[in-house]
Amino acid sequence: MFAFLTSSIGKKYIMAVTGILLVLFTLGHMVGNLQIYLKPEAINKYAHTLQSLGGLLWLIRGGLLFLFVVHVITGITLYLGNQGARPIDYVKPATIKATLPSRTMIITGLSLFAFIVYHIMHFTLHLTDPSFSFLATPEGHMDVHRMLVTGFGNMLASAVYIAAMIALGMHLYHGATSWFQTLGINNVKYNCTIKIIGPVIAVIVFLFNTSIPVSVLTKFIK
């Protein structure tokens, strides 16, 4: 098993498996966030439910962190290996058919890493705006709705989020399809369908996630 995981193909399996789980998290996170379009109580209640999970919440957080760290470290390792595999690059390089997202996974990936750090500082730890910690609902719980509206009301913050969603979309465009090939789930009959899964997920995630700051900025959500 160790030999498997440390081989080039094993590392790809690690990327694929952690990737799938992170995609599932991303989708779940997105669905949760979309409750912002309901009345404010909905998302606040959802947030409170999550907060009240206690130990389980930390378990999930720990799990996510683990997946994330493994995905990032393996990704960087693979990238560095690939760089080393061609010490002298072409004077005039060209691409035949590889898509832009597929060639920029390391860039979008690292951007997402930076973004996630910011995202946690922003909405989880409230480091960027400590006043978020004092937003409370009448029941005395965290007023997530207000926090989002205030947070995204900041033009700059919204711009960062939208830019990050472009990176996320691109990352998923390749990543959410690529794992089929890596895991060897491949059948000439279904390859056409498999090929569009990534792009479809990418577009959905990008559109829905971006809609939130846009709605705040356009005062659709108040």
Residues engaged in binding other proteins (CB under 8 A): 1, 3-4, 7-13, 78, 81-82, 84-98, 102-103, 105, 174, 178, 180-186, 188, 191
* Cβ-based nearer residue to other proteins, 82 or 124: 82
Nearest to residue 164, comparing CAs of 219, 127, 110, 200? 110
CB of 98 to other proteins, least distance (A): 4
* Cβ-based nearer residue to other proteins, 98 or 156: 98
CB of 111 to other proteins, least distance (A): 17
CB of 95 to other proteins, least distance (A): 7
Environment class of residue 44 by beta-carbon count within 10 Å: exposed (0-12), middle (13-18) or buried (19+)?
Answer: buried
What is the distance between the alpha carbons of residues 77 and 19, in angstroms, rounded to a whole number?
Answer: 15
* Cβ-based nearer residue to other proteins, 9 or 127: 9
* Cβ-based nearer residue to other proteins, 100 or 121: 100
CB of 165 to other proteins, least distance (A): 22
DSSP string, 32-99: HHGGGGS-HHHHHHHHHHHHTTTHHHHHHHHHHHHHHHHHHHHHHHHHHHHHHT-SS--SS---SS--
